[in-house]
């Protein structure tokens, strides 16, 4: 960005000092070009003096568009990855809680069955109905 601003200031300041007077103003102009805000007006103005100046704008747009696009895509992918991990963690915690609840229910059921079996054994042992042949 800085290199293009310096080059634009050097090449085009005589054509339109308002847009290319110094590097700071050139950077603002290039930002305008990068965001496609009436950039063709700027390009056609410089092409009247330097017909090859379209190369300056096209290379700048391609480089900044690819860099900007990659940055935005990187941010979006990063955010989506982070959200996906958070959702996965939440699902894992929910699954773990569900498993714990099932285990607790199974343990409670087994305890209940053991209690019933103990009561049956005590009843049978108390009546002397054991049919064991010793």
C-alpha atoms less than 13 angstroms from C-alpha of 52 in its C-beta half-sphere: 1
pTM for this entry:
0.53
CA 2, distance to chain mean position in Å, is 29
Q: What pLDDT sits at residue 1?
A: 86
Q: What pLDDT sits at residue 134?
A: 44
What domains, with CATH codes, occur in the chain?
2-124 (1.10.287.70)
How would you write the pLDDT of the chain (134 residues) with one tens digit per residue? 899 999 999 999 898 889 899 999 999 999 889 887 888 888 999 999 999 989 999 999 888 878 887 888 889 888 898 988 988 898 888 888 888 888 888 888 889 889 988 888 888 876 655 555 44
Question: Residue 30 contacts by C-beta under 8 Å, 6 or more apart in sequence?
Answer: 1, 4, 5, 8, 60, 64
């Amino acid at each position: 960005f800085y290199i293009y601003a310096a080059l634009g200031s050097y090449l085009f300041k005589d054509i339109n000092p308002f847009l290319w007077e110094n590097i700071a103003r050139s950077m603002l102009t290039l930002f305008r070009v990068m965001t496609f805000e009436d950039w063709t007006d700027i390009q056609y103005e410089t092409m009247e003096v330097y017909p090859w100046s379209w190369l300056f704008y096209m290379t700048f747009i391609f480089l900044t568009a690819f860099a900007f696009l990659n940055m935005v895509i990187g941010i979006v992918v990063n955010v989506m990855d982070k959200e996906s991990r958070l959702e996965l963690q939440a699902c894992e915690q929910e699954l773990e809680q569900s498993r714990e609840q099932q285990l607790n229910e199974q343990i409670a059921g087994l305890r209940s069955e053991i209690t019933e079996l103990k009561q049956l054994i005590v009843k049978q042992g108390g009546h002397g109905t054991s049919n064991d042949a010793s």
